[in-house]
Amino acid sequence: MKKVFFRIHQILGLAIGLLISLICLTGAILVFEDECRELASPQLYFVSDPPVQARLEPSEVVERINRTLEDDAVARITVPSDTTRNYVVQLQRGDKSLYVNPYTATVAGQRGKRDGFFGDVMRLHRWLLDGSRTWGKAIVGYGVLLFIFILISGIVIWVPKSVKNLKQHFQIKTKASRQRMWYDSHRSLGIYLAIPLLILCITGLNWSFPWWRSGLYGLFGTQFNSSKSGKTEEKKELVSISYLAWQEVFRRLEAQHPSYRQITLENGEASVAEQFTWGNPRASEKYRFDQRTGEITEHTPYTEQPRQQKVRGWIYAVHVGSWGGWFIKSITFLVALLGATLPLTGYYIYWVKRKQRKKKKQGS
């Protein structure tokens, strides 16, 4: 039986090893995307020299921003509790976010979700830079699916014949020959990484195949409902919004949630995200309000929100390691980075064994 699994492991590994290394490496890079962006462009996210006075009211910031716009208007503003961070403003047209100084209402800069280096890495990770998101998405999806079979077959191959050899299968003999060291690293490192990599594969396929996503959501007793409509219009009609009510809503929510991380306001809706340590980082309290008076008309705590929304947030959090702060993110980064080396050590082992077989044939 092990011979069958070994052949599956070897053939699939040789066929898609480089693809798996690429997916794992790009995934590792993306784990700390937000942190790296902030380090690379601190002026975009932070106020360089925060003044002593209080920040401008969100409604006033929105009003000043709207004055500078010719054919657009503010759709949403996110106010962080950290007074050294800039406000984030989304417009009704376009997909770029404006980063606004909360003391002067000047725009520090803007960026889209997939701008720059990390945008390219994301497109490589998910679609192999395929702009149509068809063949590239399919190759990545089926590659990850086959990687699951590689990992499962690797676990079966790893299982020792007796309990006495169990400890040896977990160790890497650094004092042995180079060939033995690479073999041990592939086998031992592979078993340590197998389960975490399986989790990353299972959650990652959520973005590759609708049938996989349906099954994954079904495991948690819900179903996936896309919030996106089929085609997006090239130019959206501007919506008339009463921004004066936003300030009243912000004051009330700030008083109700003194430990908030950020408050987001938009047309008749608001959300409050608390300070995050462990759990679903996308969890938030949802509110609806009267656009004329700012009166809160509806409140939906996170615990009462649809299960589908919670599952969506958790799948993303588990896949990128954001559910456990820096500690889990670091582990996810290492798992993905070391996972990228497994196909390479596998190629090396195959090359060495093939070379040895040739020598034996020549010698005989």
pLDDT in tens for each of the 364 residues of the chain? 889 999 999 999 999 999 999 999 999 999 999 999 999 999 999 998 888 889 999 999 999 999 999 889 999 999 999 999 999 999 998 888 999 999 999 999 999 888 899 999 999 999 999 999 999 999 999 999 999 999 999 999 988 877 766 777 677 776 667 777 888 889 899 999 999 999 999 999 999 999 999 999 999 999 998 765 444 445 678 888 889 899 999 999 999 999 999 999 999 999 999 998 789 999 999 999 998 888 999 999 999 999 999 999 999 999 999 999 999 999 999 999 999 999 999 999 999 888 888 888 877 6
The C-alpha torsion from 175 through 176 and 182 to 184, rounded to 10°, is -90
Instruction: Indicate whether 66 belongs to any domain.
Output: no
Closest listed residue to residue 291, CA positions, set 253, 264, 265: 265
Nearest to 266 by CA among 284, 16, 256: 284
Amino acid at 81: S
Q: Is residue 193 part of a domain?
A: yes
Q: Any idea what DSSP says for residue 276?
A: -
Residue 48 lies in a domain: no
Q: Does residue 109 fall inside a structural domain? A: no
Query: What is the edge-to-edge ordering of all strands in the sheet holding 107-111?
Result: 107-111, 97-100, 87-91, 74-80, 260-266, 269-274, 285-289, 296-300
**How far apart are the C-alpha atoms of 291 and 289, rounded to whole Å?**
6
How buried is 36 (Cβ within 10 angstroms: 0-12 exposed, 13-18 middle, 19+ buried)?
A: middle
Q: What angle do CA 15, 16, 22 make, to 5 degrees?
A: 150
The Cα 74–Cα 81 span in angstroms is: 20
Contacts of 28 (CB under 8 A, 6+ apart): 333, 336, 337, 340
The residue among 338, 303, 335, 302 whose CA lies nearest residue 319 is 335
Q: What is the DSSP letter of 46?
A: B
What kind and span of H or E run contains 116?
helix 116-127
What's this model's pTM, rounded to 2 decimal places?
0.91
In a domain, 11, yes or no: yes
E-assigned strands of the chain? 74-80, 87-91, 97-100, 107-111, 260-266, 269-274, 285-289, 296-300
* Domain extent at residue 21: 2-33+117-222+329-363
Q: How many residues does the chain have?
A: 364
In-domain check, residue 43: no
In a domain, 42, yes or no: no
What total number of domains does the chain contain? 1
Please check whether residue 15 lies inside any domain of the structure. Answer: yes
